Structure 1
Amino acid sequence: MSAKTKLPTGQEAIRTKGWIGAHKYLLLRRISQAAFLLIFLIGPWFGLWLVKGNLAGSLTLDVLPLTDPLVLLQGIAAQYWPEFTALLGALIVGVTYALIGGRVYCSWVCPINPVTDGAHWLHEKLGMPKGWQPKRETRYWMLGMVFAASALTGTIAWEFVNPITMLQRGLVFGIGFAWTFVIAVFLFDLFVSRRGWCGHICPVGAFYDLLGAKSLLRVTAVDRAKCDDCMDCFAVCPEMHVITPALRGKGTDTPLILSGDCTNCGRCIDVCAQDVFQFTHRFDTRPSPGRGEEDATPSSAPCNRAA
């Protein structure tokens, strides 16, 4: 650990890059999430139907069908064979996320992400304990249960309780029962389990984790030899366990974060004052000396903060 661990998370990056630079990807994510949500809302709110539907299934400009592959697979499990447009929409979405990274959906599209981020921010501000931490495999069991429930009930079971759908429904129709599910997720992450919903429970995240396991878009700790042990990257990462193999590796150990759990949120890039991290692709083979190894540019050691 270095003396910089005593500084507030991201403070050194703010001094080095400025506030905007230290929050660039966070701001871009919020813009992206708001844009995806707004494009579905301007129809019912203002009568401008650029897109009809929601994140489960939509039709853009009456031409482009998009279908959540998880929804389509639940329908098949319920013994409903989808129409060609639904199959085509699921193929488009599935291939896109398989290439760019499945859990990009979680950090750049899902409207529940700001809810859970808000709960985490308040959790940290109140200095609350970590709380109950279910095993990460729990979300895969939840995913299996979703398919089982669809098969047993003959319905797309998850859509009855999906907080993502409920949030959009609540924004369209106003205050109602749908908000119960969104509030429940917020309270769960705040009082029961820090980062518990997205990291341990949500079956949607589990599905997109599996879908993007071999995706092209990756974060790399390409300059890990510069890391000064401030630990900020660990503090802001929603899946902090994915950082260690890349950042602490030595010699021929890859600096790429290859875990499907990585959401490609870019926060580790934002808060690192040493610019250890950057976006790249999974075939990036640039050499990256580990800590304490010889490098063309001497450095003091790694960049980031455990939560």
Structure 2
Amino acid sequence: MDRYNGSVRELINAPLLSTLYYKTQAGKFRLTLRAWRWLSIIIINLLFFLSFHIDLQMLEGTLNGSRLFGFHLIDPFTALEIFAAEHHFHTNVIIGSVTLIVFYFLVGGKAYCSWVCPYGLLSEIGERIHQILVRKKIIKEHKFTPNVRFVFWAIFLAAAAIDGYLVFEVLNPIGYISRAITYGWSLALVWVLVVLTIEIFYSRRAWCKYVCPVGTTYNMLGWVSMTKVKWDMNKCDHCGACLNACFEDHVLEFIKPKYDKERKEKGVETQLVVNGDCTLCGRCFDVCHTDAYNYDFRLKDMV
């Protein structure tokens, strides 16, 4: 992918594999952030597999609950489910969930969705197929309000409290994939295919955008997390490539030209993507030919 010389249309419609690398202004090829993210997802989940099958004892368990070199890690939403179902927090659950909360507070809440979650990788591939089908007018895009996920978030916790069981895990494609990677495949993967099929043929990234309470929990953390994407108005030429590439394009609403006058009046030259929906995926970096985006670690300004 040649982001410095290609047109916006070429960047947005580039073949999926070509989005894994780009040509620098010096003519050298480098991996895109998408490629690094996919490697991150593969390596993390490979460690789960190896720890179980060859007793590596490095990252044991699944993404719901695991041990990193013996230290407990518990997904925050899973911890909330356990508390709702049992009305009691176990010590290891507290330690494991707080550890991950602190970690994602530092690196970015929904970074989990783009850098760790195996379903996120599948959903990206499904998204590309969906976009091709929409572009060819084979299917239509269906959008809903993202706020519906908070309703699902509350419903799943309420169901756990009423039933005394982790109800969401019956539907959780992340859990099914993670367990399949670690322990072996099962028929539960059919449900993963059903969810992916809905995303491909009906609504782009529907599970991630409108349902998943795991991502919703990280969304809440993302609003206050320390790592943010920073946008430089002076470098941006408003080509719109980033808005087309972004998984959650509403988080970049503020970069639109209609807000430039207000920014100039206030003397604002750079802005942070503060919306908790930002997954720090770096797709805006990958398609920006003016290098208007960068990561910013806000904690450095406090010390």
TM-score over 0.5 (shorter chain): yes
Structure 2 residue aligned with 1:241: 250
Q: Structure 2 counterpart of 1:272, which letter?
A: C
Structure 2 residue aligned with 1:269: 285
- Mapped to 2, the partners of 1:228 and 1:139 lie a distance apart of 34
- Mapped to 2, the partners of 1:19 and 1:112 lie a distance apart of 31
Percent identity for Structure 1 against Structure 2 = 31
**Which of 92, 99, 118 is the matching residue for 1:85?**
92
- Unaligned 5+ segments in structure 1 are 286-307
Whether the 8 Å CA contact 1:99–1:212 is kept in 2: the answer is no
Whether the 8 Å CA contact 1:98–1:215 is kept in 2: the answer is yes
Q: Structure 1 counterpart of 2:228, which letter?
A: R
Structure 2 residue aligned with 1:259: 275
Q: Structure 2 counterpart of 1:274, which letter?
A: T
- Mapped to 1, the partners of 2:140 and 2:121 lie a distance apart of 19
Whether the 8 Å CA contact 1:66–1:92 is kept in 2: the answer is yes
Structure 2 residue aligned with 1:225: 234
Instruction: Please give the secondary structure, in 2, of the residue aligned with 1:78.
Output: helix
Whether the 8 Å CA contact 1:55–1:68 is kept in 2: the answer is yes
- Mapped to 2, the partners of 1:283 and 1:246 lie a distance apart of 24
Superposed CA deviations along residues 158-214 of structure 1, whole A, max 9, x for unmatched, are: 122210110122334544322112112211110110122212221111111002211
Change in Cα spacing, 1:247 to 1:275, as seen in structure 2 (3 Å) is farther
Superposed CA deviations along residues 40-75 of structure 1, whole A, max 9, x for unmatched, are: 11133323232221111112222x111111111111
Instruction: Please give the secondary structure, in 2, of the residue aligned with 1:275.
Output: coil
Change in Cα spacing, 1:19 to 1:46, as seen in structure 2 (3 Å) is farther
Aligned residues: 280
- Mapped to 1, the partners of 2:157 and 2:91 lie a distance apart of 21
Whether the 8 Å CA contact 1:256–1:282 is kept in 2: the answer is no
Q: Structure 2 counterpart of 1:204, which letter?
A: V
Structure 2 residue aligned with 1:61: 69
- Unaligned 5+ segments in structure 2 are 1-5, 15-20
Alignment of 1:119-158 (within 5 A): 119-126=126-133, 127=135, 128-158=138-168
**Which of 7, 11, 30 is the matching residue for 2:10?**
7
For the aligned residue pairs, the C-alpha RMSD in angstroms reads 2.5
Whether the 8 Å CA contact 2:48–2:182 is kept in 1: the answer is no
Alignment of 1:19-98 (within 5 A): 20-21=29-30, 23-62=31-70, 64-98=71-105
> 1:16 Cα deviation (Å)?
5.0
Question: Post-superposition, which runs of at least 4 consecutive aligned residues in structure 1 deviate over 6 A?
Answer: none
Whether the 8 Å CA contact 1:54–1:165 is kept in 2: the answer is yes
- Mapped to 2, the partners of 1:10 and 1:122 lie a distance apart of 11
Q: Which has the higher strand share?
A: 2
